[in-house]
Amino acid sequence: MSRHSFYGLIKIFKIQEVGKRFNKYFPYLFVIGEMIVLTVIFFISIYIAEGRMALEKPYLLLLSIYLAVWPLISYLNRDYKIGRAVSYYNTFKKAFFSVFIFISVISIIWVFSEAQSLERHFLTTLVLLLFLWLTIYRVSVHLVLDKYREFGGNIRYAIILGNDDLGSKLFDTLKKKSHYGIRCLGFYGDQGSNSGTHPYLGSFSDFIKADLDKVDHIYVSERAPKHVLERAIEIGENSLKRVKLLPEFKTEAIKNFVLRRYDAIPVIDVNNLPLDAKVNTFVKRAFDLVFAAIVVVFLLSWMYPLFGLIIKLESKGPILFKQLRHGKGNTPFYCYKFRTMVENSEADFTWASKNDPRVTKFGAFLRRTSLDEFPQFFNVLIGNMSIVGPRPHPLSLNKTYESKVEKYAKRHAYKPGVTGLAQAMGYRGEITDYYQMSSRVRLDRFYLQNWSFVLDVKIIFLTVYALMKGQKLAY
């Protein structure tokens, strides 16, 4: 390897590592920045209304409510998600909407709190300053993020399938609009007339055999052959890459799509899901929080100490069994269960079988009634699981089937669930063969592609009915 290539590889790894850190820490930095702006606005409003820095009890009470409510609204609305090729006007509208929701919630709480004695002049000033300065803050962050992407941070890499005029225009737009943070590596397709001006990566046959690990987005020209588009969609489904169609190429492969515009170039996301929409995510998360809170307060509040005592008396070890499983985007998380076995070193690799000697007597009861799954409502409150979604599998089980079952990775496009469509349709218990897993994955994909709040409610009722019949809930 040449010295130049070696340093080139080091540079790529450094960029990827910085990108990972950015994705991890930016949401927290964004919310912290907003909290600072909110606090400053609050005290400025007090000073304008009172002519002094009054810190009486009603103000402190409202401040505590104020600082507690905003992070929740900001998180649920995913305000930290500042998209690429998004106009500043859209950022302004989103900020305006968040502030409107925030003020509405605070107003309702204010009516029923001790803070009713606060000066109306203070509240009016607070509302006006919030609308003004939070929108300014958001637009400023958007501007800084654009500059950061322009200078090489938070980068996504892309390829274009189709070495034609439409693909060339997109390439030129992405190069010109470097603040989008999308770097196009080049084209796959016919050599064409653009080979001298744009990077040529190979033919369509070369694309099908190419290693695309470093690629995040795949853009498909309308002139690309149908089998190339379908192969691109298949790659996107199997590896969670974004496939985007340069429009007017008609194919039955498109089921869910969103039309976007990069400057004057229209682009279609062909594998969008209903839960990619923020309003749907908000509805689902709000339902998850309410449902999980009810279960924790009214069931787990007495289950945990009672079951914990029995588990401790029956065998040594922790009350909860925690196991790494894949969540949204293949991110591992610890899934919680009541411990049903004696402690052993094979729990992550050898699945429980009928009359398994590792299972305790009380553990067998918990497994038979699915009560061992209830601690997963803690996972729901934490945010790494949902009430309804594809069931999370142990890492070793995923590794066994991800290369065997078609579009297996697509089940990780959203959070896993305490229950799911596959379980509601009767696919429960131990997985022993390819057919059982492929059937579950097919139902999981159907659920994600056809999600609705009504579907979630139906699955919950079917699950409760199955539990009442004594069927095992999940793997």
Question: Is 362 a residue whose pLDDT tops 60?
Answer: yes
Which pLDDT value is given to residue 193?
54
Q: Name the band, by pLDDT with cuts 50, 70 and 90, for residue 160.
A: very high
Q: Name the band, by pLDDT with cuts 50, 70 and 90, for residue 4.
A: very low
Question: Is 5 a residue whose pLDDT tops 60?
Answer: no
Measured from the Cβ of residue 396, the count of other Cβ atoms closer than 10 Å reads 12
Q: Name the band, by pLDDT with cuts 50, 70 and 90, for residue 375.
A: very high
- Tens digits of per-residue pLDDT, 314-360? 988 999 999 999 999 888 999 999 999 888 777 666 666 667 788 89
Which pLDDT value is given to residue 112?
64
Q: In the chain, what are the domain boundaries?
A: 15-151, 156-248, 278-469
316 three-state secondary structure: coil
pTM of this prediction exceeds 0.95: no
Task: Decide yes or no: CATH 3.40.50.620 for domain 156-248.
Answer: yes
Measured from the Cβ of residue 125, the count of other Cβ atoms closer than 10 Å reads 18
Q: Name the band, by pLDDT with cuts 50, 70 and 90, for residue 1.
A: very low
List 325's β-bridge partners, or say none: 333, 394
Which pLDDT value is given to residue 211?
81
Task: In whole angstroms, give the CA distance from residue 25 to residue 10.
Answer: 23
In this structure, are strands 242-245 and 265-269 parallel, antiparallel, or unpaired?
Answer: antiparallel
Q: Which of 29-33, 206-210, 286-290 is predicted most confidently?
A: 286-290
CB 37 within 8 A of CB 74: no
Which pLDDT value is given to residue 88?
83
CB 101 within 8 A of CB 77: yes
Element containing residue 458 per DSSP (H, E): helix 453-468
Q: Name the band, by pLDDT with cuts 50, 70 and 90, for residue 205.
A: confident
19 vs 308: which has the higher pLDDT: 308
Question: Is 135 a residue whose pLDDT tops 70?
Answer: yes
Task: In whole angstroms, give the CA distance from residue 104 to residue 45.
Answer: 18
List 245's β-bridge partners, or say none: 220, 268
Task: In whole angstroms, give the CA distance from residue 456 to residue 434.
Answer: 27
Q: Name the band, by pLDDT with cuts 50, 70 and 90, for residue 420.
A: very high
- The arithmetic mean of pLDDT across residues 362-369, rounded, is 89
Question: Is 419 a residue whose pLDDT tops 90?
Answer: yes
**Percent of the chain at pLDDT exceeding 90:** 22
Of 198, 195, 193, 194, the C-alpha closest to 174 is 198
**Percent of the chain at pLDDT exceeding 70:** 85
- Tens digits of per-residue pLDDT, 22-51? 667 788 888 888 889 988 998 888 888 777
CB 189 within 8 A of CB 203: yes
Q: Name the band, by pLDDT with cuts 50, 70 and 90, for residue 119.
A: low
323 vs 113: which has the higher pLDDT: 323
418 three-state secondary structure: strand
Which pLDDT value is given to residue 253?
54
Which pLDDT value is given to residue 335?
95
As a whole number, the mean pLDDT across the chain is: 81
Q: Name the band, by pLDDT with cuts 50, 70 and 90, for residue 306.
A: very high
Tokens, residue 1: 């390897």
Which pLDDT value is given to residue 108?
72
- The arithmetic mean of pLDDT across residues 121-149, rounded, is 87
